[in-house]
Structure 1
């Protein structure tokens, strides 16, 4: 009877820990900013990037305008996906609250895994806004029949990018350079994921890296969804597999670096 009573509260707390704690940690990224600052922070850079590459691509005439719109629209979810999980964990360390967080008996996988939830939602919303902007400006036409597969491609891509951001956040347990690392990964993905340059136009070794990096299959799936070409489920399956592997890697690194930090008293080293 006592064992039964002890299990029920845990079952109720786990979803709350995953969703509520993850969302509050995301809100904490903007704790010193007015709510009105959220929009330019999240949408400002993707809008400028979209307009820049569309006009550059139109000037060069290498590929159709739609190619650049779709690539940069889905790349927009990488900013929220990479930076939000990384900065939420690094912020705990910099503010001195990481030791209190890690002192709780809460499940680490649930506690840190929930931090990618808001990043997925914000990233997917950002990509949707970019696609809507491209459509409003006459650069993109979205057939109604393509909407379900396109929406799924956006969500899966946002999940994959957020899983990568969780890996970067795990590294933040031992370094203060998580933001710098997120910037490096963001611009590397812009180069090797087929955002503006097809993978088959890259050197072989660079294209191979691009196939393994998050977002590449998601972008290709979105392009195929819009052209109503086959192969979308297979591409999204590979993207989901990469997301799952990255989440497992992040949780392993978090566990390992937490143990090392405790042994070396490095959790408060901000």
Structure 2
């Protein structure tokens, strides 16, 4: 009986650490950002991007307008997914709180994985808003019967992007360039993930790299769902597999770089 109580208590503490620590860390690092700055960044930037590529794609005529609208609507989740986890780790170094965070006895995996959750939620909501905009300016049809499937695709894609953002954030334990790398990753995804350029039109090696990047299979799954075709389950499984790989690599890097930083006394080095 006592063992069962201890296990239940331990699980409750772990869940509390996973959700509350991640959310409070997110709020602490972004508390300075007022709604007047937050919403133009999270909503305004992807709105301008979507409208720009929709009209550019309509002018070029390589693909239907909906092709660009769907790709950029999903890419909107990358803004929160890539930058929030990266900033939540590198921001600890900038604010001088990283040593206090790493001095806690809490499990590193739970503590850092919890920081992905706010990014997933914000990325999901951003993409939902962008799909509503895509229906207005991008000729994207959103049948009610397919909205649950589309919501699942958006959630998986936002999780994949956030996992990749955590991997970039892990590099921020030893470098100052995590935010720069998140920017480069975001723009690179525009090229190789099938957002505005089809993978078939890329060189084979670059298309292969694109298939390893986050959201590539999620974007194809979203287009298939809206087109009413089958096979989206396999695409989502591939996206979830990439998510697991990104998270695993990120946790290994966080552990290794933490130990290395302790040995060289560079945890607070800026």
TM-score (norm 2): 0.96
- Structure 2 distance, partners of 1:180, 1:160, is 19
Whether the 8 Å CA contact 2:109–2:251 is kept in 1: the answer is yes
Structure-2 change in CA distance of 1:103 and 1:57 (3 Å)? same
The residue that corresponds to 1:98 in the other structure is 98
Distance 2:2 2:100 in 1: 29
Say if 1:86 and 1:178, in contact at 8 Å, map to a contact too. Answer: yes
Take 1:141 and 1:12, find their aligned partners in 2: how far apart are those partners?
A: 43
Structure 2 CA distance for partners of 1:195 and 1:151, relative to 1, 3 Å: same
Q: Report how many aligned residue pairs link the two structures.
A: 270
Per-residue deviation, 1:146 = 1.6
Give distance in 2, aligned partners of 1:150 and 1:266.
44
Q: CA deviation at 1:4?
A: 6.8
1:239, distance to aligned residue in structure 2 (A): 0.2
Cross-structure match for 1:238 = 238
1-structure distance, mates of 2:173, 2:6: 32
Tell me which stretches of 4 or more aligned residues in structure 1 moved more than 6 Å.
1-5
Q: Which runs of 5+ in 2 are unaligned?
A: none
Cα drift, residue 2 of structure 1: 8.0
Which residue is 1:110 aligned to? 110
When the two chains are superposed, the root-mean-square deviation of aligned CA atoms in Å is 1.5
CA contact under 8 A between 1:153 and 1:218: conserved in structure 2? yes
Counterparts in 2 of 1:151-230, with a 5 A limit? 151-230=151-230
The residue aligned with 2:142 is 142
Contact preservation (8 Å) 1:149, 1:232: no
How many Å apart are 1:11 and its aligned residue? 2.3
What is the Cα deviation at residue 37 of structure 1? 2.1
Question: In 1, distance between residues paired with 2:220 and 2:106?
Answer: 39
Aligned to 1:13: 13
Question: Which structure 1 segments of 5+ residues have no match?
Answer: none
- The TM-score with structure 1 as length reference comes to 0.96
CA–CA distance in structure 2, aligned partners of residues 29 and 83 of structure 1: 12
Are the structure 2 counterparts of residues 8 and 176 from structure 1 closer, same or farther at C-alpha, using a change threshold of 3 Å?
same
